[in-house]
Amino acid sequence: MLKKVVSFSGRRRNWVIPYVLFLAFFVIAPMVLIIYYAFTNPEGAFTFANIKKFWVHPEVLNTFLYSVVVALITTFLCILIGYPAAYILSKMESRKAKLIVILFILPMWINFLIRTLATVALFDFFRIPLGQGALIFGMVYNFLPFMIYPIYNTLQKTDQNLIEAAQDLGANPRQVFLRTEFPLSVPGITSGILMVFMPVISTFAIAELLTLNNIKLFGTTLQENIYNGTWNYGAALSLIVLLLIGATTLINREGNSKAAEEGNLI
Amino acid sequence: MEQRIDIITIEALSHHFGDKTVLDDINLSIGKGEFVTILGPSGCGKTTLMRLIGGFLNAKEGRIIIAGQDMTKVPPHLRPVNTVFQRYALFPHLNVFENIAFGLKLKKLPREEISKRVKQVLKIVSMTDYEERDVDTLSGGQQQRVAIARAIVNEPEVLLLDEPLAALDLKMRKDMQMEIKAMHKKLGISFLYVTHDQEEAMTLSDRIIVMREGIIQQVGSPVEIYNEPANAFVADFIGESNILNGIMIEDKLVEFAGHKFECVDKGFASNEPVEVVVRPEDIYIFEVSNKAQFTGLVISSIFKGVHYEMLVTTPEGFEFLIQDYHCFNAGRTVGMLVKPSDIQVMKKERLSNVFEGQVIDDQHVKFLDNVFSCNDAGNFESGTEVRVRVDFGDVILYDNEKEGMLSGVVSFILYKGNHYHLTVSSGENENIFADTNDIWDDGDRVGISFDSSAIKLESL
């Protein structure tokens, strides 16, 4: 018996079994369930009604579009604030820069619900009304590090020789940036967008807390449906978000597959 | 004779990284259309010099004049030079055409002009039809060509090439050498080439600048540098040579390896210690006869393709490297002869180690930031500044760094026929020279100490 166990666990190909089980239970099975629920009615019969409902239901569609706009604004602001920060950091002495990067990431160690509650308290303290502005602030505040870090990473890895080559060919500092450093850092920006845009669409806690439940994001709609037991509709909405994430990733992959590898997230 | 116009003039240029002197008072000039190579081992400052000329490092001491204008403080993008970088530094986000057109687009040249000139240089580097290719899909040699094209398309006054062939394999390197030489001829602009490969320097250059530890050792044509090396370092670095200690008995008569030889050098003091260089191909080797100046026993004989390379030891205990078309097998006794004109006699740079020191008490003296016990110290008052002298043979080297009073790194090894002459760098800018029979390797970390009787003091 023991011999059998030893020989079973001794074979290297068997080591993969726990991971396969994990993937099967926690990734593949839920996906299959989402797809199953999305295309069935509560009685279990096949239907397109859930998907159709999304397109004909103006309220949900509006929430969806509104979420996309919020995500776009957040992403845009994150790039606007994050790029210069990452650029300055990449030019700093690496030991100092690493310290500051850690300072940027440090708030991430605190649970983001607590952080968001603290933001609410801060807004109360300064008597700034909660609402759309607070929502955008909260989003940017929460997701900024996810933009800075990949951009910093790519910029910092830029081959110094390329910058010198550009100077050598007659580029002044502005031209060096526009014609070499910036194009070379695009993979970092793409990574940053991936890490900011999609999570913002599906976040619901930030929206609930910072707008006192006045503004609904798509994440909230999803959560409500699941919470209220309308699983089939909720699954259909999840599937739509999933497809959107898949699409952006694919576009990114196809655009510059090699570049994306270089701009790796962490 | 043609009037020589200097395109680059460098005056009293020094550079430091922290406390370390990387370039020490460099003066040189490069003529219009000349092919000049800066040659030296790694760490000799050649790349630093190149980067200062390109403007990638700020020169703090000295002047750099390019095409008649003081460029010492001018940023790189305004200098009329272009560089071919060691690892090519092609822009990965641009294709071949865009890479080459980079400089021209910055100059805002009309599109047709750019296209015309890019096509022209692509033809020069034999890369026609590669315009649309992604630079990542090119081989090392092709990338090299694009890098050269990208630089020369701007028609610089001087093309700087920083070890451009270092990453290519031998065969490719030989081919590219020929192409670079041909390109130089065709373009008529000055090339300043940096390499550590002496053979490459010989092949390409009109003039070679040999550098070591931030100091120019010799400037001259390849023939001059080979036949009349200025010092033992140059002789050892360029080609192969037998370098021995000798004594200049009188004008045109030098003694080395236990024999007296006629030579052509004069102007030395009588009995002055000198260094003698004899190239391996300049020693005639034959059956023992009365023509032989000295004899020896062949230790090894290796066929090198064109010639045989033989190692011969003399009864006096000196080793000679000899190259000849005729083979003398190991174990044979042979006669040897060197013609007077083939003996190159050089002044010795130093006869012993000399340091500045201070007497601490009647037993101790301080130098090289260390206190050593010294028998000589009793002859001086405490606190006196003295000159400290240690003979090369009296330097004791230890395998274990910690065993010595000082630690250092072996930075240069010279075989002197019957012993090794080592240069050991200790601290930032100190060199200690040692004669030894032990075999060390370049880069070995060693401990150094001196015997109390070996430290000789002299008043200043």
Residue A231 pLDDT exceeds 80: yes
Residue B457 has pLDDT above 70, yes or no: yes
pLDDT at B115 (0 to 100): 93
| Cross-strand partners of A59 | none
Residues of B in contact with A164 (CB under 8 A): 54, 56, 76, 83, 85, 89
pLDDT for residue B1: 44
- Look at residue A25 in the predicted model and tell me its pLDDT: 93
Q: Which tokens in the block code for residue A231? A: 């699983």
The residues on B that touch A, with CB distances below 8 Å, are: 54-56, 75-78, 81-83, 85, 87, 89-93, 102-103, 106-107, 136, 150-151, 154
**Domain housing A231:** 64-262
Residue B343 and residue B387 in one domain: no
Are residue B227 and residue B278 in the same domain, yes or no? no
A28 within a domain of the structure (yes/no): no
**pLDDT band at A254, cuts 50/70/90?**
low
Kindly identify which residue of chain B lies nearest to residue A179, measuring between CA atoms.
B102
Look at residue A210 and tell me whether its pLDDT is greater than 90.
no
Residues B182 and B34 both lie in one domain: yes
Amino acid residing at B86 = Q
Q: Say whether B25 sits in a helix, a strand or coil.
A: strand
CATH number, domain of B427, equals 2.40.50.140
Answer whether residue A261 shows pLDDT above 50: no
Which amino acid appears at position A222 of this protein? L
Q: What is the rounded average pLDDT of the residues A241-265?
A: 63
Residues B339 and B272 in one domain: yes
At residue A136, φ and ψ (nearest 5 deg) are: -60, -45
Q: What is the pLDDT of residues B219-274, one digit of tens each?
A: 999 999 998 898 889 998 888 899 999 999 999 999 999 999 999 988 898 899 99
Mean pLDDT value of segment A99-118: 85
Q: Per mean pLDDT, which range of A6-15, B248-257, B372-381 is the poorest? A: A6-15
* Domain end (from B347, B373, B390): B347
Classify residue B182 by burial, with Cβ atoms within 10 Å: 0-12, 13-18, 19+. exposed
How far apart are alpha carbons A192 and A71 in whole angstroms?
A: 13
Considering the domain architecture, whether residues B104 and B196 belong to the same structural domain is answered as yes
Q: Can you tell me the mean pLDDT for B323-338? A: 93
Residues B114 and B188 placed together within one structural domain of the fold: yes
pLDDT at B285: 94
Of the residues B106, B114, B136, the best mutation for testing chain A's interface (the one with the most A CB atoms within 10 Å of its CB) is: B106
Segment B387-395 shows an average pLDDT of 91
Query: Which residue in B77, B90, B93 is closest to A167 by CB distance?
Result: B77
Distances from the Cα of A94 to the Cα of A5, A91, A266, B205, B412, angstroms:
51, 8, 17, 41, 34
pLDDT of residue A213: 82
- In 3-state terms, chain A is what percent helix, strand and coil (to 5)? 85, 0, 15
Residue A264 banded pLDDT, cuts 50, 70, 90: very low
Average pLDDT, chain A: 85
Residue A208 CA to residue B251 CA, distance in Å, equals 101
Percent of chain B with pLDDT over 70: 99
User: Is there a contact between B257 and B244 (Cβ–Cβ < 8 Å)?
Assistant: yes
Confidence (pLDDT) at A75: 94
Average pLDDT over residues A231-240: 88
Inform me whether the pLDDT recorded for B9 exceeds 60. yes
Q: How many CB atoms lie within 10 A of CB B268?
A: 18
CA of A95, closest CA in chain B: separation in Å? 19
Instruction: Please tell me the predicted confidence (pLDDT) of residue B275.
Output: 92
**Identity of the residue in B54, B56, B89 whose CB atom sits nearest the CB atom of A159:** B89
For chain B, report the end-to-end CA distance as a whole number of angstroms.
50
A116 to chain B, closest Cα gap in Å: 40
Which residue, B438, B39, B435, is CA-closest to B244?
B435
pLDDT tens figures, A171-194: 999 999 999 999 999 999 988 988
Q: Say if B34 falls within a structural domain.
A: yes
Residue of B nearest to A185 (CA): B93
Residue A263 has pLDDT above 50, yes or no: no
Mean pLDDT of A109-121: 87
Residue B220 is assigned to a structural domain of this protein: yes
Q: Is residue B1 part of a domain?
A: no
Mention every residue, 6+ apart, whose C-beta is less than 8 A from residue A173.
none
Q: With respect to residue A25, please indicate whether it lies within any of the assigned structural domains.
A: no
> Is the domain of B65 the same as that of B180?
yes
Q: What domain count does chain A have?
A: 1
Evaluate if residue B40 carries a pLDDT over 60: yes
Q: Which of A161, A170, A184 minimises the CB distance to B77?
A: A170
Interface of A with B (CB under 8 A): 159, 161-162, 164-172, 175-176, 179-180, 183-184, 186, 258
Q: Say yes or no: B250 and B379 in one domain.
A: no
Cα separation, A79 vs A123, whole angstroms: 24
pLDDT surpasses 70 at A253:
no
Name the residue among B77, B87, B91 with its Cβ closest to that of A180: B91
Q: Which of A157, A164, A169 to mutate to test the interface with B (most CBs of B within 10 A)?
A: A169
Distance (Å, whole) CA A115 – CA A144: 14
Distance CA(A37)–CA(B217), nearest Å, equals 82
Mean pLDDT within A109-113: 85
Checking if the pLDDT of B109 tops 70, the result is yes
β-strands B20-31, B69-70: how paired?
Answer: unpaired
Q: Residue B16 pLDDT > 60, yes or no?
A: yes
Of B54, B87, B107, the CB nearest to A168: B54
pLDDT tens per residue, range B277-301? 999 999 999 999 988 999 999 999 9
* Residue with tokens 């400052």, as numbered in its chain: B45
- Percent of chain A whose pLDDT exceeds 90: 30
Report CA-CA distances (Å) from A103 to A100, A118, A192, B222, B402: 5, 18, 18, 58, 42
Q: Mean pLDDT across the stretch B55-84? A: 91
Q: Are residues B118 and B215 in the same domain?
A: yes
> Chain-wide mean pLDDT for chain B?
90
Chains A, B: CB contacts under 8 A, how many? 64
The pTM for the full model equals 0.80
Instruction: Please give the Cα distance from A118 to B453 (Å, whole number).
Output: 77
Tell me the shortest Cα–Cα distance from A89 to chain B, in angstroms. Answer: 21
Domain tally, chain B: 3
Q: What is the CATH number of the domain that holds A129?
A: 1.10.3720.10
Is ipTM beyond 0.90? no
Measure the CA–CA gap between A17 and B344, rounded to whole angstroms: 76
| A247 compared with B96, residue with greater pLDDT | B96
Residues B124 and B222 in one domain: yes
Cβ distance A190 to A111 under 8 Å? no
Retrieve residue A253's tokens: 């992959």
